[in-house]
Structure formats: structure tokens, C-alpha cells
Amino acid sequence: MLGTLGANGDHESAAQAVAKLSLGWPQHLKGAQTALGRELLRTDGDLGQIDYARVRSESDRNRHDYYNARLSASVLGVHRPFTATVVATVQRQQPVDPGDLIGLCEKQLVGLQRVYPGLKSATGEEFANALVERGVLSPRADERYEVAIPSMAQWLAGLVPRPPTESGGRD
């Protein structure tokens, strides 16, 4: 690809750097390649002038935008920290079948529906189904659920609200 684009420099190193940013996922490779392409435009095709920190930053933004899109247009996007909390609970408790996942979601929803009107009509079943249908969770062979994409689990973990410190403030 870099040769076809007429990029000058070490194609192999650039390709390896971008492949590493993909974290092994084709969609992330696309985002990393897009970021590299923007840098190639900035440097007039000179790979030696590429700012890989800029490529990494844009690649991360592209990945996070992709994750946000998975949550959007569904009950999962109403309150992302809530969705992240549910996913963290799933990771800890590892529900063993769809019924357990629905029960876990229902329990989590009860307290939050008073605070977030967009969740008022959501049921545990709707929320659990959205987690699977939007590719956030996937069932394993033993029917336990896991986050479908490891880097998405890390991104979601960053959205989980942290409890206040002893002084009453947040870290």
C-alpha cells in the first residue's frame, strides 16, 4: 500500500507500527491506516518525517469513536458510564447464561432509572440484548459472557465512575 501511494522511506517499519496500533482487529487497522495516511499527506509522503505519536493519538481517537458508535443509537448510549459499570460487573461476575445476564442488567437498571430518564423504559432483557447485539459482549462456548474486544474493555473501564475519596472529592 505504501509503495502504491508513493511513500518514501522504510515501508516495513511503518507497516509494522500501524499494524501494532490495530491491536489485532481489522477495524482498528483501518483507523490506524487512516491516521498514517493523514500524516503522509502532512509530510508529502516522507515516512521519515512521520510523527508516530500523532498517528497513535489519531488511531486511538478513531478506535474510541468506533466504540462510541457501537453504543450509540441504542439504550447503551443513554448513559455510557452506566453501560461501562454493567460491563465491569459482567467481567467480575461472569453470568453463566442469558437469564443471568438479564438479571444482572435488571438489578443494575433499578437504581439508575430514577436518575436517567432515557433508561426508564429499558428492561434488563433489552439492555442485555443490546450488549450482545451491538457487539459489546459475546457468549463464550461455556455460555459465560465476555467483552468482545479486549481494547473495548479497557476503554469502557475508563468510563466507570470512580467512588469519591475519603475527603469527599474525586481523585
* pLDDT tens track for 35-90: 999 999 999 999 999 999 999 999 999 999 999 999 998 999 988 988 999 999 99
* Local confidence band at 117 (pLDDT 50, 70, 90 cut-offs): low
Q: For 121-133, how does the pLDDT look when each residue is reduced to its tens digit (9 = 90+)?
A: 788 999 999 999 9
pTM of the model: 0.80
What backbone torsions phi and psi does residue 79 show, to the nearest 5 degrees?
A: -145, 90
Residue spans of beta strands (DSSP E) within the chain: 137-139, 145-147
